[in-house]
Each structure stands twice: as C-alpha cells, then as structure tokens.
Chain A
Amino acid sequence: MTISTGNASPRPVGLGSFLRPGGRVRSLGGQVVSILVTLFGLLVLTFVIGRMMPADPVRAIVGEDATQDTYRMVYERLGLDRPIWEQFFRYLGDVVTGNFGVAIRTGQPVISDILHVMPATIELATFAIVIGAGLGIPLGVIAAVNRDKLADNVIRVFSLLGHSMPIFWTGMIGLIIFYASLGWVGGSGRMSSFYIGLVRGPTGFLLIDSLIAGEWDVFWSALNHLILPASLLGYSSSAYITRMTRSFMLDQLNQEYVTTARVKGLSRHDTIWKHAFVNIRVQLVTIVALSYGGLLEGAVLIETVFAWPGFGQYLTNNLLIGDMNAVMTCVLIVGVIFIGLNVLSDVLYRVFDPRTR
C-alpha cells in the first residue's frame, strides 16, 4: 500500500481558477494588477462589440424619418466622427466617471434603470441558489458515498437532466402544469397585478419590503410567484453543484484518514459528515459563489418566460430595440459581477483554508 501524502485535495478548477493562470499562487498585489487588466480587457471587448454592429446607433435614437441635419447632429454628439482611439478614451472616461448614458426606451440613465431592476433578479437568484445548493450538496455526498451503485447512477441522470433542459421551455411547462392546471403557484410577474404598487419599500426586495410594511397578502403573493421560477433555476444550477460535490467528496473518501476513522470505530455517518464533509466545505463555498454568477445566464431566459421585471428582461428588451449602449452596459455589469464573485471566492478560500495562508 502506498503512503498517502495527505491533504492532496485539489483546488477547484473551472471558472474559479481563471484569475490564477497556471495555478500559481499569486501575491495580493499581483492579483490586484491581474483584476485591473481583466477589467480593462472587459472594457475593450464591450467597446469593440458595441462598435462592430452593422445596426446604426444614430438611427436607433433619432428614428427612421429624421432629417439629415438631426442625423448629423446626433452623429457628432455621439462622437462618431472622431478617430476610433479617441472614441475609446471617451468611453473609458465615461465608464470611470460612472456615466453610462441614457436608455432610449425609458429615457432614464442606464445605470439607474439597472439599479432599479436588479433587486428583482437578486431576489430570484438568491432563492434559486438556496434551492440549488440545498439540493445539490446532499445529492453529491450521497452519490459519492454510493459510488457506482444504483443511487449514484440515478443521481447522475437526475442532475444531467437538470443540466440538459432548456430552461425557458421548462418554465412554460411549469406554468402549464402548476399554474394553469393545478393552480398551485402564481403566474407571471413578481406578484398578482392586484397588489402592484401597494408596497414601495426601501430595499426593492419585495419579500423584505412587504414584511416591513406588514402586508402579508403581498408577501404571500410574491412568494407564490417566486417559488416556481426559483425552483427551476435552482434545479438547473444544482447539476454543477452535485457533480463538484461528488468529485470533492470522492477525493476525501479515498484518503487514509477516512479508513482510520472507520477502524477506530467511528460510525459511517459521523465519518462522512464530521470528517470528510468538513474538509470540503471551503471548496463548496467557492462552487456555490460561482454558480450564483452563472444564474444570471438562466435569469435572462426565465425572466422572459415569467415576465419577471428584472435585469434579464431589461437586457432582452433593450436588445430587441437595438439600444446597444444599454445592452453593452448590462454586459459590462455581468462581467464585473463575475469577476467580483471570483475575487470573493478567492478571498473566502484564503480566509477559511489554513493551508493557503
């Protein structure tokens, strides 16, 4: 029997490793530089995509039947007559000073629009990740413990199913079954139209605001509308969480301390939950944080199906009318959120895992 070197559990791979090219452990200063470079690259990318379009940004603002003079004026006001590098520095300056322009559809600054719709999406995504992690982590542990047995295979198919379903379609089927046929849940939107405008809270999170205002009817209506889209999003994100939990857990169960624990008389249950599981908690936090960012992708589709007035719907609405400025701001924000979550998971790693100190 070979002697295990112990503690050889790998750091999670995937999105989490993207700030650490080559897996080198970087110094804090190096990491800050690396984040800044990535952010700069993000800006270059959104700028390039924004300018690449065959769609005419001036036409989107002035409409089809504007005079040549109006067109000319807007064209110059947008700075499109300037050299491309000058346009880029202008864009850079705007972003740094927080000036993201005005959305054509609403006439409001894009950034205040986004701040306005974000709580709806955060509420949805937070519920979804609680469901996803609550489902995925226990399933992953069960699958690892029963490796290659029936339970493992059933869980594998169940989670692959969640990974394979087109979420916009599952949303519709869910509406047909649980709303139209059974009447168990609310339909589209964040609450029944009856209650709209009743609660104007400080946070924008409907569940919290209605509780503060003591409006129980609104609270139940909101919960009723939230549960179906959140469950579907959660199920789809549980696939990745299950798979990673299983693989982390297998790494632990193959190590000798597990055998030692069993030999010294510790029960199977305690070995799994009090020894092996404790060791993968930090890795799981990373995975869950990254899945939370990934939910934004599902949110775009599910919000369209459920007429959920959130970030995803805002993005698609602006896409369809060709407001590239608003679209690219949304894309930029998603990128920043993603980078932020990666940094967060990195920090959590450093704080909770004594080996990285």
Chain B
Amino acid sequence: MTDIVNAPKPASRRQPAVAPLLNVLRFLLRSPTSAFGLAVITLLVLLAIFAPLLATHDPYVQNLNNVLQPPGGNHLFGTDELGRDIFSRLLHGTRITLNIIFLVTITVGPIGLAVGTIAGYLGGIFDTILMRITDIFLSFPGLILALAFVAALGPSLNNAIIAIALTSWPPIARLARAETLTFRSSDYIAAARLQGASPFRIIMHSIVPMCLPSVMIRLTLNMATVILTAAGLGFLGLGAQPPMPEWGAMIATGRRYMLDSWWLVTFPGVSILLVSLAFNLLGDGLRDALDPKQMNRR
C-alpha cells in the first residue's frame, strides 16, 4: 500500500506532455538546416522582446539633416529618406512580423481544424458542403484572394491580417479532413461512440488531438507564406501603412531611392528572406520529426 503511494510520480502533470516535445527538439537540433531555422526564429523572438532596449534610435523620429546616410558609423544599416535609423526600424519591425504570424496562426488553426474534422467525421451532406466551400477558396492563388479582400475592406495592417487569415485556412481544413478520415473508423472511436459520447465530444477529445501534429507542421510551413503575403501586401501599399516600420512597406518606400541608396531596400528584404527561410527550414525539419509516414518512406 505505502509502496504505491510512495512510487515515483511524474514531476508534474505536464511531464508526459513535455517529454515528446523534448524529443522533437533533439531531433530538430541534429539536422543543421532545421537547427539554423530554429536559431533564426529564436533570435527573432528575442529581438522582438528586447527591441526597445536594443534599438539605437527611435524608429519614428525623423532627422532631415541626416537623410540617406550609408551604413556605418552612428547608423549600423544607414538612414532612410526621412533620416530615420534603418536598424532600429527593422528591430521594431520584428514585433509587427511576429504579431502578424501569431494572429493569423491562432485564427487559421482552429478554423481549419473545425471545418476539416467536422466534414471528415460527420461526412455526408456536411462533408459535401464544407469541402465545396473549401475548394472554391482553393481555386485562387492566396495573394490574389487576399488582395481582393483587402480591396474590399480597405488597406490597413489589421485588414491585411484578416485577409490573410481568410485565405489560408482551406489547406489546413483539407489536411484535417484527410487525417480525420483515416481515424474515423478506428476501434477507439467506435469505443467512444459506444460509450455514448456525442459527436462534438468525439471530435474534440479523440480526433482533434490526433490531427494536431500534422496541422502544426502545416501551420509552421504556412508561416513562411504568411510572412511573404503580408510583405507583398505591404509592398503594394495595401498592408501596413507608413510610418509603420513593416518590412514590406519599408521596401516600397525605399524603391524610389534604390539605385543610389541600396541599403534602403536591401536590409528589410534580407530580413524577410531570412525569417521566411527559417520557417521553411523548421517546417521541413518538423515534417521529418513528427510524420511517421514520411519517416518510413525515407
């Protein structure tokens, strides 16, 4: 009796959940490419947190006596057409980038999961209608549809985020549905159903957790696309508006000066490229780490 009571317990209720995560992390760090991706993203998060401390200048303060200064000296990456420090603007831009990724992901994940699992589990007329809607959204390239939404809503950063979210849930829904179909007729689902669990409960407790790994990989890979679409909208003047230090918008204003002052467009562009590459590399690594089907094939 006392043995059972004194048996070693998990350090916390969370431990069983944390252990597999650590395994995944170990796997990711073994591959140089995904380790690079992880490092860049960690750096991005740290820079965003400490942006006000690290920035050498105020990102919004103009200094018209000091415009278009080349990199070096007092200004690490030079100054823009209004004399603002580009390095500090890039640093503050990390917050906007992370904000976009975060908001889009927390919207797209649940919508995609809900549509996909409901269509897959309930089947029949629900499946037909939900998947038909998904197909219609999929028949546009993401950027074009996002353009249409922003045009309708009016150009602003928030509307760009809404537009991107509205256009990037369908692939997630398709994926969740495909996953659901593979679990739908398994014994554990039948067992849950025989115990009298409602469809809602089965979807929430038995199907959604099984779909999560592949949905998370897809969301990570999706983040690269989100960054590129947001930057593209910013570049076209339909996303973040000046004077916001959003990277795509910075490139758009720098475009007029690009032949003489290359640093205006180069540094924001390199930032976008690095971050989107990092998410692509991480997503690629996650797919290898979490997807057993892929593992067998390799």
Contacts and interface: CB of A to CB of B under 8 A. Distances in A.
B133 to A, nearest CB: 7
Contacts of B140: 331, 334-335, 338
Residues of B contacting A: mostly? helix
B160 interface: no
7 contacts: A38-B136, A52-B153, A53-B154, A55-B154, A166-B235, A176-B262, A331-B145
Interface in A298-357: 300-301, 304-305, 315-316, 319-320, 322, 324, 327-328, 331, 334-335, 338-339, 342
A3 B69 CA distance: 69
B30 interface: no
Contacts of A153: 33
Given A163-B280, A169-B273, A319-B151, A338 B33 contact: no
Nearest to A251: B297
Interface residues of A, number: 61
B153 A301 contact: no
Interface stretch (A15-23, A113-121, A134-142, A215-223): A15-23
Given A173-B269, A300-B143, A21 B236 contact: no
B265 A172 contact: yes
Nearest to A250: B297
A101 interface: no
Given A41-B132, A294-B141, A301-B235, A156 B284 contact: yes
A37 B131 CA distance: 12
A22 B262 CA distance: 50
Contact of B276 (A164, A305, A320, A334): A164
A335 B133 CA distance: 14
A304 B251 CA distance: 13
Contacts of B131: 21
Nearest to B283: A160
B101 interface: no
Given A160-B280, A169-B269, A334-B144, A21 B135 contact: yes
A151 interface: no
Contacts of B277: 160-161, 164
A53 B152 contact: yes
A45 B266 contact: no
A166 B276 CA distance: 9
A338 B141 contact: yes
Contacts of A148: 298
Interface stretch (B80-88, B107-115, B186-194, B224-232): B224-232
A132 interface: no
A41 B133 contact: yes
Contact of B154 (A54, A165, A315, A331): A54
A18 B138 CA distance: 8
B28 to A, nearest CB: 15
Sort chain B's interface into a size bin: 35 or more
B212 interface: no
Interface string A43-59: 01110011011110000
A160 B139 CA distance: 24
Contacts of B269: 166, 169-170, 172-173
Contacts of A235: none
A262 B145 CA distance: 49
B139, B145, B231: most-surrounded residue (chain A CB, <10 A)? B139
Contacts of A208: none
Contacts of B137: 45
A49 to B, nearest CB: 5
A298 B232 CA distance: 10
A49 B148 contact: yes
Nearest to A44: B136
B149 interface: yes
B202 to A, nearest CB: 20
B228, B238, B276: most-surrounded residue (chain A CB, <10 A)? B228
A91 to B, nearest CB: 15
A46 B148 contact: yes
A180 B284 CA distance: 37
